[in-house]
Chain A
């Protein structure tokens, strides 16, 4: 199965045979889980998201069009699920500061660099939490999943222009939180606008 493309695997699923499920899961579960976890800040909810997304993928396989990218389709389902989750007010209270198994840092790193990474990690997590859900969704998909603005627009159900604005605003907030630098160019901005 490993040599089959996403489209070929999905064609098998569309034919009613679920045997590629495991292979598709292996290809995408880590990305979906990481996105959901960072979006929802809750490991348990992220597990549910993964479960729901893959079950939905099997049940609604026929909604997948072979000319689309499977990743975009799966992230659409994931983002929808996550947005629904956040909408339910009582879930907000459950946001948890889960400590999860993170993949080990490469061990050729110096202890100083390791420490720095751990500190940065905490700062980034806090900074991401300060974003609006729309901004967080856009930045997670762009920075951590490498998706294009066109793909993100499709997933978020907005225009590419809106994605651009969301990423820009998210970066303004992150930049301030991570480097302490506010828009350093106000002089220039004000002079022209």
Chain B
């Protein structure tokens, strides 16, 4: 078998970055010195890129239902989340946050609940600020809409939020619907602190989303990539997803969204991007991360020495994806030194 043939057999492995260092070097050397194999390599890379345009298809929801039924598990929810007519028990922390939220509504909205509600919502009558609303017995009977401006941005504990749905924009408002003790919908401006906090919480905890996490990220990106709503806290939540989600598709989506977030971003977001660039096993995540850093550099945001060091190291790392190297170099050339 000819040397060229051997090299060409290695090209798919070169594309998936799964050649060992020596073989990779050897193949690259050959590609650089053999014009025919150079052409061949270019065609390989083009094909590989075009293949990336094959869209992922979505699994219809009925498939999961059918499986869970077959497995003897109630459709729609894993065992531990099954609901019944019995009022479910929630952790105290969750109760406290909702009670607090409700408390603030009472305070801020006056008769908002009292007028709409037959249930026994009892609130400490003492005039209260957010800080001293105490846990209290409550019961909320049905779905209600809470304006974000009237709930506390302080989410206490880790409330058990389930069946989260993202609602379409209505005018300048966005909305988030979920079950806490009953169905609650919070609506408000994207810049509302409580809305931001709630979205960050849902993203970071990947909690009971009724859509896939990727969809949730997409929804958040759509709103917050608009410079008027740029929010470091949202970026930071996305960064946490990119750091910790075990699904590479979700990490890619998070990194992709960070790429569209307008500067400035908080320090921990930048650190997460650097970590992803350095350590994420998936080249697509590293690519999005370096693109995000390049965008930050281009937007004139000053990058700290650690970021610059990482970019420098990446731009010359011989076993790194060529595109990542090129982007790292591009970011370096745009950097405004601190």
Contact = CB atoms under 8 A, between A and B. Distances in A.
B206 A149 contact: no
B67 interface: yes
Contacts of B282: 146
Interface residues of B, number: 60
Given A50-B67, A183-B40, A105 B47 contact: no
Contacts of A142: 12, 16
Most chain B CB neighbours (cut-off 10 Å) among A2, A54, A188: A188
B247 A103 contact: no
A144 B4 contact: no
Contacts of A179: 43, 46-47, 50
Interface string B44-66: 10111011011111111011101
Contact of B67 (A55, A121, A144, A171): A55
Contacts of B212: 30
Contacts of A87: none
Interface in A88-122: 100-108, 116-117, 120-121
B54 A171 contact: no
A134 interface: no
Contact of A193 (B2, B79, B214): B2
Contacts of A100: 57-58
Contacts of B70: 51, 55
Contact of B58 (A102, A106, A123, A167): A102
B230 interface: no
Contacts of A47: 59-60, 62-63, 66
Interface stretch (B31-39, B125-133, B177-185, B190-198): B31-39
A108 B260 contact: yes
A192 B11 contact: no
B171 interface: no
B8 interface: yes
Contacts of A103: 55-58, 214
A148 B19 CA distance: 10
B43 A184 contact: yes
B222 interface: yes
Contacts of B9: 164-165, 168
A21 B68 contact: yes
Interface in B231-287: 246-249, 256, 260, 282
A60 interface: no
A168 B4 CA distance: 13
A48 B194 CA distance: 43
A180 B1 CA distance: 25
B225 interface: yes
A34 B56 contact: yes
B50 A33 contact: no
9 contacts: A29-B64, A102-B58, A105-B55, A108-B225, A168-B11, A171-B12, A185-B37, A186-B36, A192-B2
Closest 9 CB pairs of A and B: A185-B36, A22-B78, A120-B53, A188-B36, A102-B55, A192-B2, A193-B2, A19-B79, A184-B39
Given A121-B55, A183-B40, A185-B40, 19 more contacts: A2-B206, A18-B73, A21-B68, A22-B78, A47-B66, A50-B67, A54-B67, A55-B70, A102-B55, A102-B56, A120-B54, A143-B48, A146-B16, A146-B248, A181-B39, A185-B34, A188-B4, A189-B5, A192-B4
Interface of B: 1-5, 8-9, 11-13, 16, 18, 34-37, 39-40, 43-44, 46-48, 50-51, 53-60, 62-64, 66-68, 70-73, 77-80, 206, 212, 214, 218, 222, 225, 246-249, 256, 260, 282
